[in-house]
Structure 1
Amino acid sequence: MADMQDPADTRIMGIVHSALRRDLCRARMVLEAGGLDPVRRRTLGAHLVWMMDFLHRHHTAEDTGLYPAVRERNAAIGPLLDRMDGEHAAVHPAMDRLTAAARVLEQRDEAAAVLAAVIGLEDVLLPHLEHEERELMPIVDRTLSDAEWQELDRKHNLDTKSKRDLAFEGHWLIDGLDAESIGVVTGLVPPVPRFVLVHLLGGPYRKRRRTLWAGTPAESVPSLSLAPSC
């Protein structure tokens, strides 16, 4: 159990970011290769829409939960949080453009437009993710206790989703992770629901993964931390 004296363990933030970097990279590789069959094209469009919805919810949790909590405890961090807010505002139009292009891709072959939207999003999102990991998270570690961090995650993330949604999200997060990082993800839920989520509800994500990436170089792209590049 988390202790009020333990500093926040924010490793999950980097894991979330790494999954986003990984699948943007994978999508770009598949789109650049061209020749998408209809099933993969429709699935890729749906997956990119899902990712943008996930990212919107992730940013909302930061805007309404994490950032205000840190600002309240550490007033000196205000300018950095203001910059994070500004980066969110700059990223959201690129997210919306990708969502719109991906919805079209579900209906017809518009791979060039989706590729341009993916690249446009990477241009603004990837620097933001790096700033958050390198500059903000070390301060969050020192500002919040692990109990406070876990309560924020529960309130703004875990408690807002169904078990099926959590299972899909969890399997998406652990795709290509090392064993220690997998433990960080699975350790967010208690043992009994963890068993169900990990061992019984992973089929939908595995099916989507095969449809999207199997037989392409994108299949071997791991979760992308700050060090590796796509």
Structure 2
Amino acid sequence: MTGTVTTERPWVQEMVVVHRIFRRESRHLHDLIGAVRPGDTARAGLLAGLAREYIEGLHNHHTSEDELLWPKLLARVDLDAELVLRMEQQHQVVDAGLRELERLLAAWAGTPAEPQRDALVGALAQHRRDLLEHLDEEERHVLPLIEEHLTVAEWNALGEHARSKTPKEKQLLMLGALLEDATPEETARFMARLPFPVRLLWKTVGRRSYNKQMAAVRTP
């Protein structure tokens, strides 16, 4: 016997959990920014900062896919190349929307008047439509291809690349975002990957800190 054959496949549900962050936060940003009163610079500044973190997180998520996922799939799934190319094109649409959000955020945060707010809310609504179209199709059609054509090591490398873009001081916040809507099984799988000190820190400090921050942000 010269080697061991393994049937282990990538845990693609991980991407569904990550996508929930963007689904949830894109909705919250639209609704919360739409509720900001004209002239409320403190609230505008808080939400603008949150929106910029969201934009950076989504950009990093898509960049990881562009660099580590699509090239591998294109080389291995000839019959589905059109689908992969469509995913890349949807990334371009979402990225253009994020750049527009950055432009409108700068105008609104500096002068939180009604016209600037409403323009931003309209752009957030369009962004969410574009994003959900992409996420829905990716989960429905691309995740099965990943499960079939990528190794566990290749899949894990994609996750590590995305996590490496998260500053250390934001990692507990990101963990909270991942776990907020996770099922018990999903939570157990994420927590099992963490070193014991990190799990302890989350249970003693991180979870309470995350809930406090979210309560402050999501209370108009």
* TM-score over 0.5 (shorter chain): yes
Please list the CA deviations of residues 70-119 of structure 1 after superposition, one character each: whole Å capped at 9, or x if unmatched: 33333333221111011111111111111222233332313212201101
* CA displacement at 1:31 relative to structure 2: 3.2
CA distance in 2 between counterparts of 1:173 and 1:39 reads: 27
CA distance in 2 between counterparts of 1:100 and 1:203 reads: 34
Tell me the equivalent position of 1:118: 124
SS at 1:106's partner residue? Answer: helix
Tell me the equivalent position of 2:109: 106
Q: What is the TM-score normalised by the length of structure 2?
A: 0.84
* CA displacement at 1:34 relative to structure 2: 4.2
1:163 aligns with 2:165: no
Q: Aligned pair count?
A: 212
- Give the CA RMSD over aligned residues: 2.4
Give 2:126's aligned amino acid.
G
SS at 1:157's partner residue? Answer: helix
1:141 aligns with 2:144: no
Matches within 5 A, 1:64-79: 64-79=67-82
In terms of mean alpha carbon deviation, does 191-200 or 130-139 score higher?
191-200
1:4/1:145 contact within 8 Å kept? no
Give 2:164's aligned amino acid.
D
1:176 aligns with 2:178: no
Tell me the equivalent position of 2:54: 51
CA distance in 2 between counterparts of 1:86 and 1:141 reads: 22
Identity %: 23
Tell me the equivalent position of 1:7: 9
CA distance in 1 between counterparts of 2:178 and 2:108 reads: 24
Tell me the equivalent position of 2:133: 127
SS at 1:30's partner residue? Answer: helix
* CA displacement at 1:39 relative to structure 2: 2.9
In terms of mean alpha carbon deviation, does 109-118 or 97-106 score higher?
97-106
Q: What is the TM-score normalised by the length of structure 1?
A: 0.80
CA distance in 2 between counterparts of 1:10 and 1:198 reads: 26
2:45/2:109 contact within 8 Å kept? yes
Higher CA-based Rg: 2
With over 3 angstroms needed to count, the CA separation of the structure-2 counterparts of 1:205 and 1:96, relative to structure 1, is farther
Unaligned runs of 5+ in 2: none
* CA displacement at 1:153 relative to structure 2: 1.8
* CA displacement at 1:207 relative to structure 2: 4.3
